[in-house]
Amino acid sequence: MTYVVTDNCIACKYTDCVEVCPVDCFYEGENTLVIHPDECIDCGVCEPECPADAIRPDTEPDMDKWVEFNRKYAELWPVITQKRDPLPEAEERDGEKDKLEKYFSPNPGEGS
């Protein structure tokens, strides 16, 4: 099992999760985060820290696409280990549907 970031992180990018991760397996895109599924140790401490409820275990239904999404971008983006402010539109976009199609950017973030 591993944990993955789903589309509710897109356009929010809360980083509370990176602060508690013991293995630094979060990677930063321009407007979202991902977890490298091969580096995640399945401890689960990140899941309750996410204000947007965007972190899910891969054992939930329909998570295969998110495992591959997280893997792909974790190999392209820089690691992030320090908490930052969420994106300015985070509260407004939290819980919005179809964020992958509407807002996702494949560009890397700054990392830390």
Q: Which fold has domain 3-85?
A: Alpha-Beta Plaits (3.30.70)
CA distance 18 to 24: 7
| pTM of the shown model | 0.94
Say whether pLDDT at 111 is over 90: no
CA distance 105 to 29: 7
Question: pLDDT tens across 31-55, in order?
Answer: 999 999 999 999 999 999 999 999 9
**What are phi and psi for residue 111, nearest 5 degrees?**
70, 175
- In this predicted structure, what is the pLDDT of residue 35? 98
Average pLDDT, the chain: 95
Say whether pLDDT at 112 is over 90: no
**What are phi and psi for residue 86, nearest 5 degrees?**
-70, 170
Say whether pLDDT at 109 is over 90: yes
